[in-house]
Copies of this chain bind each other. A is one copy, B any other.
Amino acid sequence: MAYRKTPAEIGRLEAAREHLVTCATSVVTEVGWAQASVTAVADSAGIAAGSVYQHFASKTALAVEVFRRAAGREVDVLGEVLQGPGSPVERIGHGVEVFARRALENRGLAYALLAAPAEPAVGAERLDFRRRYRALFARAVHEGIEDGLLPAQNGEITAAALTGAIGEVLVDPLDTRDEEAAEELLVELVAMALRCAGAPPAAGQP
A160 touches B131 (CB 8 A): no
Known contacts A167-B168, A172-B130; is-contact A197 B195 (Cβ 8 Å): yes
B118 touches A172 (CB 8 A): no
A161 touches B172 (CB 8 A): no
Q: How far is the CA of A169 from the CA of B160 in the complex (A)?
A: 6
Q: Does A38 contact B (CB under 8 A)?
A: no
**Residues of chain B lying within 8 A (CB to CB) of residue A185:** 157
Q: Indicate with 1 or 0, residue by residue over A180-206, a CB within 8 angstroms of chain B CB atoms.
A: 000001001101100111100100000
Among B34, B119, B157, B165, the residue within 8 A (CB) of A164 is B165
**Residues of chain B lying within 8 A (CB to CB) of residue A156:** 174
The 3 A-B pairs of least Cβ separation, nearest first, read A164-B168, A161-B165, A164-B164
Further 18 A-B residue pairs, CB within 8 A, beyond A34-B120, A151-B201, A161-B168: A117-B117, A117-B118, A153-B188, A154-B192, A157-B169, A157-B185, A160-B165, A160-B174, A161-B161, A161-B164, A161-B169, A161-B196, A164-B165, A164-B166, A165-B165, A167-B168, A195-B196, A198-B201
Binding site for B on A (CB under 8 A): 34, 117-120, 123, 127, 130-131, 151, 153-154, 156-158, 160-169, 172, 174, 185, 188-189, 191-192, 195-198, 201
